[in-house]
Amino acid sequence: MIAQRPPMGFNTWNTFGKDISEELIRGIADCFIEKGLKDAGYEYIVIDDCWSEKERDPKTGKIVADRRKFPSGMKALGDYIHERGLKFGMYSCSGVRTCAGYPGSFGHEFEDAADFASYGCDLLKYDFCFRPNNVESKLLYRRMGMALRQTGRDIVFSVCTGGMDHPERWARSVGGHLYRSTLDISDSFDSFKNIALGQAGNLCYTAPGCFNDLDMLTVGMYGKGNVGDGGCTTEEYKTQFLLWCLFGTPLMLGCDPRTLSGELLSLLTNKKLIAVNRDAECRGAFEASAHPWIGGRKAYFRFLEDGEYALGLFNLSDSDGEVPFYLYSAGLGDLSGYGMVFEDLVTGERSDIRKDYFSADLPAHGGALYRVRLVKL
């Protein structure tokens, strides 16, 4: 059984797009070790689109690595990543071409899967462009799902339809371990806010073995790279990471991890935040906002293992203000004989016992994530 927790790692697309190379990937693998990212749980290094030559090899029919970008070949790169105790992720597409126009796996699923496995592939992101429009999309994912299993290697199957065709209804059944539930993220507050709000009602489909994928993080990009879009403030990046942790979505870095330092590096490697993301029960968070009619002041609550809980408070509005949470929204009635204590997982601060009400004063676009315990009054 693989992917019993949401996968964590890095993906080239957000920052590097087509500008990828074996040197870059090696540098990122090294930096995973040096910066403590591996120790924090980040393990998959995923090469997204644009890694191959524009055409299959005319003699063998195989997809071949771009000879300039990856002169040593994919197997050597997979070995380099594995030698550092990390995992190797690759990319292909269910259509005849990838989204950026490189050869896709349509009609070649079994050979391609076998080739990827022979390079040491541990995760395959499988995209949705250039599919013949008379073929039902889930059929193509079933096919690749089978081809991957047939390789005999444990390969995480990352179903990427950009949210098309309701993947939450079928991704698990085709062997998928994560499914992209939305269109592509870009590096702006509005982009991640809309993704999070759009999926908040669908988190109940997440469970060990198959996770709702809200797309790669943009934390730390600051507007640079392939999906730039103006960038976010450090406060906004914090909010994004807290949402991704609470929502139990894969934590795939999309920035250049070599540039991470200080506050953002501590945030991204915060073991208590990551423990919420990777809680063994993998239950979905649900909305528990006190005043849903006050735009953007959101509370989400999540049941964790061992009788604990998590609460996220988010001020997604454009003005500073208090974000309230009433305990009854999470199920705790006034006469239950229990209260709650809240531990802020970023500052470490603990609240006193609250019987009915808790709140946080949060800046515009800010957030806070708490571990919650019930206590007998």
Interface with ligand GLA in residues 205-264 (CB under 6 A): none
Angle between helices 189-199 and 234-246 in degrees, nearest 10:
20
Catalytic residue among 66, 165, 184, 229: 184
One symbol per residue from 16 to 55: x for binding ligand GLA (CB under 6 A), - otherwise; what is it? Answer: --------------------------------xx------
CA distance 234 to 225: 17
Q: Which is nearer to ligand GLA, 184 or 287 (CB)?
A: 184
CA distance 79 to 58: 27
CA distance 165 to 61: 30
Q: Which is nearer to ligand GLA, 40 or 178 (CB)?
A: 178
Number of residues that bind ligand GLA (CB under 6 A): 10
> Any catalytic annotation for residue 127?
yes
| Backbone angles phi and psi of 36, in degrees to 5 | 80, 10
Interface with ligand GLA in residues 118-137 (CB under 6 A): 127
CA distance 310 to 343: 9
Smallest distance, Å, CB 195 to ligand GLA?
12
One symbol per residue from 130 to 169: x for binding ligand GLA (CB under 6 A), - otherwise; what is it? Answer: ------------------------------x-x-------
Distances in Å between the Cα of 219 and the Cα atoms of 16, 104, 245, 265 are 14, 29, 13, 10
Selected range binding ligand GLA among 93-101, 134-142, 143-151, 317-325, rule: CB under 6 A: 93-101
Asked if 13 touches ligand GLA (CB under 6 A), the answer is yes
Length of the chain: 377
Q: Output the DSSP codes for 135-152.
A: S-HHHHHHHHHHHHHHTT
Asked if 372 touches ligand GLA (CB under 6 A), the answer is no
Asked if 99 touches ligand GLA (CB under 6 A), the answer is yes
| SS3 at position 186 | coil
> Any catalytic annotation for residue 184?
yes
Chain positions contacting ligand GLA, by CB under 6 A: 13, 48-49, 98-100, 127, 160, 162, 184
